[in-house]
Structure 1
Amino acid sequence: MDRSRGPWARFLARPNKDPVKALGMAGLIALASAVTVSTVATTMRPRQIANVEAARQERMQAMVQALPGLRAVMEELGVTELETRLVDLGTGRMMAEAAPGFDPVAAARDPETSIALPEEADIAGLGRREAQALVHLLARDGAPKLVVLPVRGAGYQSTISALLALEPDLNTIAALTVIEQAETPGLGARIESEAWQALWPGRRIADETGVMRIEVVRGEAASPYEVDGISGATRTGNGVAAMIRFWMGPWGYGPFLDRLEQEGMG
């Protein structure tokens, strides 16, 4: 072997059937592919976040438009969209204004901006929960007319993200709009259908004693706390119900909703 050439030249000069060259080339291709994928993912991340935010805004506007009488209230108040605020989930306090470009999923992954959930409390299967979260509000004379809460949780085979709209009593569902999901096509994925989402308005989340009772049942609903299940998608339906119970509880938006009920928008 010619030692006058460099290591790379000597490597390339090896026969193509040489095991060392074959393994080396495979490793180089794998490394190059990994670097390319990582670079593309990093470059595309801001665009992906922007696309998700645009889809969320579009669906929220559609949801607001569909709620009876709400558009009239907004016109009366002279507003064209809901007010977005940042909330400290631990204390329930609203911040002065929403942080531009706030990404709750990224915040939940960062130990500096999230908390680890106790296993017994983590009924939504999140693992960690961001310390602060966005809420969307419409108020008149300091009292909430509509509260929209971004919620997410584990379904059967994906994380489900949705917008949960609450009526002024903060316990009756005005609307549920699924934003993201990757459940089984034709089964669990039907949670994104208009027909199934139309079953949620008017459902109540907790009873008079404060016990969370909202659930997705097999067959037809028989109480104000129940929503018809989807045949063949029991685990997906259970995931949606658990997601709502979690975010409405003490580890989710519970402290914020308590403050809102007691203090209003002040």
Structure 2
Amino acid sequence: MSKKESTSRTLLVALAVSLVSSVFVAGAAVSLKPVQIENRQLDKQRSILAIAGLGEASMSSREIKDLFSSRIKARVVDLETGEYTDAYDPNVFDPLKAAKDPKLSEALAGEQDIALIKRRERFTTVYMVEQDGRLDSLILPVRGYGLWSTLHGFVAVKSDLNTVVGLGFYQHAETPGLGGEVDNPKWKALWPGKTLFDEQGKPAIRIVKGGVDPANPEATHQVDALAGATLTSNGVDKLLQFWLGEQGFGPFLAKLRTQGV
């Protein structure tokens, strides 16, 4: 066999192996996609329950699903009108996918986009914890850019629509030990009991450097910044201002206050 024939045969074998491997990888990706989607949904439900102060970290998948379905009610909200809508099924509607669709979202620029999300979906899903048929707490999805990534999370408020129950992020790529400290239980423990709005109903919550002074009248609206993570802290500050304001859940929360909860 000539050297040329040997080289050609080697290349053909390599090509065949690559094609077979590609088929197996593609097949595995397709077959695993439903599992991946279910796991993402489960992680989100776990995060919502944790922020609402429900359940235990050691709960099984079945326990998470059962607790979520029994205590959490999901509704889709029209962010422009502040009204609930039945146009979409809250159990399958994907606000992040909608944010990429020009028909279901709007582009943001300049001062409109303080959270640096580029586009804001018109419709999104909120989650209500109910007790004896009445609202116990409301869980709002929030997101915004930190230092290296977009932080995706939830803020939970009591039925007064002002007092924080909890804040947490289920997805981000901030620096471990710095911006990644948004996951630190000690930092998350600073949020419950803080108030989001001032007496005029405007977003007042702020993250401050140097530590919160308890004697400051504004201390109820303030949370310590993350040590050594100024840009991530600023990002959390800005994303809360955005989503609690007129571009975000402002009209929705105003309607709830008027209608009573």
> Normalised by the shorter chain, which TM-score bucket?
0.7 to 0.9
Say whether 1:107 aligns with 2:98.
yes
* Contact 1:98/1:134, CA 8 A, preserved across alignment: no
- Which deviates further from its counterpart, 149-158 or 214-223? 214-223
Following TM superposition, by how much is the alpha carbon of 1:113 offset from its aligned partner in structure 2, in angstroms? 1.6
**Identity percentage of aligned residues:** 38
- Aligned residue among 42, 48, 52 for 1:60: 48
CA distance in 1, matches of 2:227, 2:168: 20
* Contact 1:105/1:130, CA 8 A, preserved across alignment: yes
Q: Tell me the equivalent position of 1:90.
A: 80
Show the 5 A alignment for 1:2-21: none
* Contact 2:52/2:139, CA 8 A, preserved across alignment: no
Deviations 1:114-173 (A, max 9, x none): 111232111110000111000011346875321001111111101101110011221221
Q: Tell me the equivalent position of 2:227.
A: 231
Q: Which has the larger radius of gyration?
A: 1
CA distance in 2, matches of 1:240, 1:41: 34
Q: Tell me the equivalent position of 2:173.
A: 182
Deviations 1:25-54 (A, max 9, x none): 9xxx9xx99999999877766544432221
What is the SS of the residue equivalent to 2:155?
strand
Q: Tell me the equivalent position of 2:211.
A: 220
Q: Tell me the equivalent position of 2:249.
A: 253
TM-score, structure 1 normalization: 0.75
* Contact 2:51/2:155, CA 8 A, preserved across alignment: no
* Contact 2:179/2:232, CA 8 A, preserved across alignment: yes
Show the 5 A alignment for 1:1-266: 47-65=35-53, 80-96=70-86, 98-139=89-130, 144-222=135-213, 223-264=219-260
Following TM superposition, by how much is the alpha carbon of 1:111 offset from its aligned partner in structure 2, in angstroms? 1.2
Deviations 1:163-197 (A, max 9, x none): 10011221221111211111001111010111111
Q: For residues 259 and 54 of structure 1, do their structure 2 counterparts lie closer, same or farther at Cα, with a shift above 3 Å needed?
A: same
Q: Tell me the equivalent position of 1:4.
A: none
- Matched pairs, number: 233
Deviations 1:234-263 (A, max 9, x none): 110111111111111111111111111112
* Contact 1:215/1:226, CA 8 A, preserved across alignment: yes
Deviations 1:87-114 (A, max 9, x none): 1111111123743322221111111221
What is the SS of the residue equivalent to 1:145?
strand
What is the SS of the residue equivalent to 1:209?
coil
Unaligned runs of at least 5 residues, structure 2:
56-68, 214-218
Deviations 1:186-221 (A, max 9, x none): 111010111111101111122112332211111211
TM-score, structure 2 normalization: 0.77
Give the letter aligned to residue 169 of structure 2.
V
